[in-house]
């Protein structure tokens, strides 16, 4: 992620916190082979406002978004394995040849930025 991406993510987290919305944060924690994003890439899933950032797009990102909704409902974090190693003859644009592990965690209201409230 670039510095600008970090600022955008921080701003989105602050806005969600100010509005009292819980979000889910997805972070690529491991990659093997060719993947669209590398370790450290992040995506915020805000059910009311949409997505900020990306973990790669396509079907793999859809799997992560589904996991984010489960995490928000249960409060239990998940590690999602996104396998992009289908047969190259499948003609799918989602076939990069690698595997990504994405950690998805809830970011409750009031804890999104690590800042404490007014004293």
In the predicted model, residues of the chain with pLDDT beneath 50 are: 111-119
The answer as to whether 78 is a domain residue is yes
- In-domain check, residue 85: yes
Residue 93 placed within a domain: yes
Write out the two tokens for 8: 């955008």
Expressed as residue numbers, the domain containing 22 is: 3-107
Whether residue 15 lies inside any domain: the answer is yes
pTM score > 0.85 for this model?
A: no
At 32, list the tokens: 């093997």
Say what the pLDDT of residue 45 is.
Answer: 96
pLDDT at 75: 94
In this prediction, residue 24 carries a pLDDT of 96
Contact in structure between 61 and 54 (CB atoms under 8 Å): yes
Share above pLDDT 70 across residues of the chain, in percent, rounded to a whole number: 82
How many domains does the chain contain in total? 1
């Amino acid at each position: 992620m670039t510095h600008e991406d970090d600022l955008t993510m921080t701003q989105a987290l602050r806005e969600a916190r100010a509005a009292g919305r819980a979000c889910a944060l997805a972070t690529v924690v491991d990659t093997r082979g060719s993947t669209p994003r590398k370790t450290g890439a992040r995506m915020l899933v805000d059910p009311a406002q949409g997505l900020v950032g990306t973990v790669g797009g396509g079907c793999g990102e859809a799997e992560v978004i589904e996991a984010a909704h489960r995490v928000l409902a249960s409060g239990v974090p998940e590690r999602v394995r996104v396998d992009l190693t289908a047969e190259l003859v499948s003609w799918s644009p989602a076939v990069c040849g690698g595997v990504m592990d994405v950690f998805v965690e809830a970011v409750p209201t009031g804890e999104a930025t690590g800042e404490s409230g007014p004293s």
